Structures are given as structure tokens and as C-alpha cells.
Homo-oligomer: A and B are copies of this chain.
């Protein structure tokens, strides 16, 4: 149920395996995995947010979910149900489709999800986030979770658009500020071709260069997007997605055995 059968098939093609979805398991199965040492989870963070005239409002959720599915399939690591409502206040209420939580609510949600994982015996959580606007709320939540549980629970945040420098470079190659740009459009062309309104693709320049203050999107974009989606190709999208999936898989591999540099426990 995590994602469409088509996408699942694509993941199987690419990785040779199916993702290991928390939501599709029973409690004895989850308990059994835990007892065998699979005490790490991935949590995909998306958004419900306008993505310009050519991409659907679930674009970020697709990215987070698909990356986690890839890594989960490849590494057989657990992936939790995605959070589809994030913090998109920066997009305001200018363009219908955006639905945003306030930061305090996203912080609380993450803390409570982590709390249940901790209470039920899990020890590592890697948040995989595909929406820039979630980042500060996620970091606030992490800050508190670490403070309360350091040494007993490891938590991290990786933004899918910056898993590696190479990936980051591809995301910003049409402008420092981006939204529904070349890279995002290319990814969607590969991951969910039917979702891309090819006839609606137009570009909108990055207007934030050199600005001191930080503006909401209707102050910087005429149509909700920033970047050059007209340059996108499905081929680039496939290549970028595989790079992202491999990068996350490598992170998962490291994370599984990672220990804190110094042993220390929160009170």
C-alpha cells in the first residue's frame, strides 16, 4: 500500500527486491525483526504542497518514499509510513493544493513517533526528508530527542536532495533556490511519468540571489516554481534517482553498524 504497484515494480527491477514496509507487517513480525537486531527505521518526510503548474502536490512525498523504498529494498531495512503533511508555510495560501502544519505540530509529531519507537525497542531512526521547509522543524525535534535519549537512541536527518555533493550539484544546476526545477521534474518524469503535465512546463527564474531577507514563495515566484524544468528529461531523472537510491543505501549500510564516536548516555 506504500506506493503504486508500478513504482514497486520499478524498485524491484532496479534492486531485485521489495522494500520492507513497516505498515505491511504484523506486530509479531516487527517484533521478530527487532529481536534479530533490525532496530533501525527510515522515516520518509514529504509535503502536500504546490509544485508549479506541471507537478502534483505530492512531489516531495514521492521523492522521500521512492528513495526509502529503493534503500529498503536493497538493504532490507524497515521503512515507516511516510508523513505527507509537512511544514510548507513558505508557500503560503496563495496557490491551492498546499496544506501545511505549523512547525510546533511537526516537531511534536516527530518527537512522538520517535518516542514510540524508543518505547518499543528500536534504537536508530533515520529521517529521509525531501522538503526543504521541513528541515528546521525536524532539527528541532531531533535536538530534543537526542537530549533526552543520547546513548540509547541514534537519530539522524538526511535530505534526499543532498545525500551527496554530486546529488546536490544536480539539484542546483539551474539555480541556488529551486522548486519543481529541472532535477525535480526529471525525477518525476521517471518515477511517475503520468504525473508530469508536460504541456504546462515553464521556467521561472531564481529571484532570491543576493537577498538579505527570506521571502515567501509568492514574493519570489510568479507560478509557484523556481528553476528550469524545461531542461528536464526522464533519462536524467532515472540516473539521478538511482544515484539517490544508492546513496541512501550506502548511508543505511553505514548507519547499521555506526557507533557514537564516544560512549555517553543522557541522564
Contacts and interface: CB of A to CB of B under 8 A. Distances in A.
B62 A124 contact: no
Copies in the complex: 6
Given A5-B6, A104-B104, A261-B219, A57 B25 contact: yes
A81 B48 contact: yes
A136 B146 contact: no
Given A92-B266, A213-B126, A260-B219, A107 B113 contact: no
Nearest to A25: B56
Interface in A71-110: 80-85, 87, 89-90, 92-105, 107-109
Interface residues of A, number: 115
A200 B28 contact: yes
Contact of A89 (B126, B144, B260): B144
Nearest to A93: B119
Given A90-B146, A261-B219, A195 B24 contact: yes
Interface string A224-262: 100000000000000000000000000100110010111
Nearest to A6: B5
A58 B25 CA distance: 8
A54 to B, nearest CB: 6
A143 to B, nearest CB: 5
Contact of A213 (B31, B156, B192, B264): B156
Given A26-B52, A48-B22, A57-B23, A90 B6 contact: no
Ranked nearest first, the 3 interchain pairs of A and B with the lowest CB-CB distance are A5-B5, A136-B139, A23-B58
9 contacts: A1-B61, A23-B58, A26-B56, A81-B85, A99-B112, A136-B138, A213-B258, A215-B261, A219-B264
